[in-house]
Amino acid sequence: MLAEELINPNMPVLSLNDSVAEALELMEQDKVSQLAMVENDVYLGLVSEDVLLNWPNDTHLLSQLHLPQNAVSAHLYQHIYELIELTNQYQLSTIPILDEEGLYAGAILVSDMMAKFAALLGVQEPGAVVLLSMTNQNYSLTDISRLVESNNTKILSSYFAGSEYGMADKATLTLKLNRTDVSAVVATFERFGYQVAGTFANDTIEHPDRQRLDMLMRYLET
């Protein structure tokens, strides 16, 4: 999924002639903490609610503020994974998108993007989550998929995190499966030497990763 597919056509933009009060009102209406400032299709920067709230006079125009503008943006053909990385790096609620000529093409509402990302991961689908702990060298999604499918089960989505916990050769693979009862899959993994770090279905997961996994799933479902 690319940025151009995620642009929200209803996102407003700020103008140099908008007042601080008007800018804050727009942010409140759209439940965002940043909005793009645009003049004649030229993206000038991202205006933050925090800066505006700390300004002593809300009748001042944005052109008077000499705001420290955050020129963060993405282009039309960036992948959703890159957009999520950008969101985390800059704590964005809005992502300005530029076209091939560097002009403003629109903006992505991060909450919309995360909802679509959750759908990509199969979060809305019924099924269990299985966590596997392994070394980087032992990671083979082809082999793991074969073991899962041997139990008439499918992988809806997966996430591989290398160098977990600061260890150079420690990795975790998170699998979302299309079944809630994955006892047969777990038994197969263990039979083939994989370490099952935890499972998350209706009522089973006893592992330090449970809290982190629960938080991730709740975040993706919002």
DSSP class of 131: E
10 Å CB burial of residue 40 (0-12, 13-18, 19+) is: exposed
CATH of the domain at 61: 3.10.580.10
Verify that 104 and 131 share a domain, yes or no.
no
Verify that 180 and 164 share a domain, yes or no.
yes
Amino acid 114: pLDDT: 85
Verify that 12 and 73 share a domain, yes or no.
yes
Verify that 112 and 11 share a domain, yes or no.
yes
Verify that 110 and 195 share a domain, yes or no.
no
Verify that 141 and 114 share a domain, yes or no.
no
Give the domain range for residue 88. Answer: 3-118
Verify that 28 and 103 share a domain, yes or no.
yes
Q: Where on the phi/psi map is residue 166: left (φ > 0), alpha (ψ -120 to 50), or beta?
A: left
| Spatial separation of the C-alpha atoms in residues 183 and 204, rounded to whole Å | 11
Verify that 129 and 110 share a domain, yes or no.
no
Amino acid 164: pLDDT: 47
Amino acid 103: pLDDT: 95
Task: List per-block mean pLDDT (blocks of 10 residues) for the chain, which spans 222 residues.
Answer: 91 93 92 91 90 88 76 90 88 93 94 80 75 84 92 87 60 87 92 88 47 54 50
| Spatial separation of the C-alpha atoms in residues 29 and 17, rounded to whole Å | 19
Distances (CA, A) of 9 to 21, 35, 100: 23, 14, 18
Domain count of the fold of the chain: 2
Verify that 86 and 153 share a domain, yes or no.
no
**Model pTM above 0.75:** no
| Spatial separation of the C-alpha atoms in residues 81 and 88, rounded to whole Å | 11
